[in-house]
Amino acid sequence: MTAPFAPRRLTIATRESALALWQAEHVRAQLAARYRGTTVELLGITTQGDRIVDRPLATIGGKGLFIKELENALREGRADLAVHSLKDVPMDVPEGFVLAAISAREDPRDAFVSNDHESIAALPAGSVVGTSSLRREAQLRERHPGVRIESLRGNVHTRLRKLDEGRYDAIILAAAGLKRLGLTTRIRALIDADESLPAPGQGALAIECRADRLDVQGALAPLADRGTTLATAAERAFSRALGGSCHTPLAAYAEWEEDRLWLRGLIASRSGDDVMRGEMESVVTNVAEARTLGAGLADQFLARGAHRLSVASA
């Protein structure tokens, strides 16, 4: 289905990391192929989250620091749309903006990367594992209490360089980013969702624009993937209802097939000593039903005492 029209020129706001530029170029190519009469350009922006790399995200304002400068470019008219990793987008999109399209998801799993070891299970006691994610940290501590977790910030190439310099025995990264950057050979093992449940939205791209730009929304609509849109709507609703943030080890992953959506969720203490898991399945045909499923699973968690974990982590 082709949108009735697209603006003659579209500018995409993007972070300037290699992965962010790949993502923006991926969307640019899709738009350019669909709308032959439209010129699509990129506007590179260095965000506060990119500038501050010596402190955990949770202590400097969370993942929203990767988004705000891009939204400013949309607000000021310097750009028409912005491309984000959906897992970096806060659960509540600011007033005046919309996520106009969620495109088809890449591999949502976490990846084990090491130069010397084949898997997490093969790590000797005391091995140093790098990750910036409290979600990954909690699940690692629960299943592999003998490893030592140390903070790891920076873009994908920076993290790989730190591993290669010997600062870590292994690091955990999103498989999607490595695959998109042509770094699949660095993956020693893909970690099954049963062992490391992904972050809400992991592997999916979100395309954001201003709520009043109906022309841009119309042009972006064909880029949306239905299954990914429904799955991530449930994941984000689950996270929102539990107050998920960079301070809370929280995971959610949904799979949609033949109008049925299967959602798994997790919330934990950072130590991994207290981990709550649950799942729910339902027929889902639209975003509202997906969000209802996510909120319903969160209600089950709250009835089981999940509030203690979100409060303790805040």
pLDDT digits (tens, 9 = 90+) for 164-177: 999 999 999 999 99
Q: What is the pLDDT of residue 48?
A: 62
User: Using one digit for the tens of pLDDT, what is the confidence trace for 107-159?
Assistant: 999 999 999 999 999 999 999 999 989 999 999 999 999 999 999 989 999 99
- CB atoms near residue 258 (< 10 Å): 5
Structure confidence at residue 303 as a pLDDT band (50, 70, 90): very high
Domains of the chain listed by start with CATH number: 1-103+204-224 (3.40.190.10), 110-191 (3.40.190.10), 225-314 (3.30.160.40)
CA distances from 178 to 38, 115, 154, 157, 160 (A): 30, 15, 14, 9, 10
Structure confidence at residue 292 as a pLDDT band (50, 70, 90): very high
Q: What is the pLDDT of residue 109?
A: 98
Q: CA–CA separation, 242 vs 234, rounded Å?
A: 13
Q: What mean pLDDT, rounded, does the chain reach? A: 92
Q: What is the pLDDT of residue 50?
A: 56
> Which residue type is seen at 214?
L
Share of the chain above pLDDT 70, in %: 90
Is there a catalytic annotation at residue 88?
yes
Of how many residues is the chain composed?
Answer: 314
Tell me the whole-structure pTM to 2 decimals: 0.91
3-state SS of 255-312 is EEECCEEEEEEEEECCCCCCEEEEEEEEECCCHHHHHHHHHHHHHHHHHCCCHHHHHH
Q: What is the pLDDT of residue 299?
A: 96
Q: What is the pLDDT of residue 16?
A: 93
User: Using one digit for the tens of pLDDT, what is the confidence trace for 227-276?
Assistant: 999 999 999 999 999 986 667 899 999 999 999 999 999 999 999 999 99
Q: Which two tokens stand for residue 192?
A: 């099954």
**Does residue 2 have a pLDDT over 50?**
no
**Does residue 312 have a pLDDT over 80?**
no
User: Using one digit for the tens of pLDDT, what is the confidence trace for 27-76?
Assistant: 999 999 999 999 999 999 987 655 555 555 555 455 567 799 999 999 99
Catalytic residue among 88, 107, 110, 169: 88
Q: Which residue has the higher pLDDT, 302 or 59?
A: 302
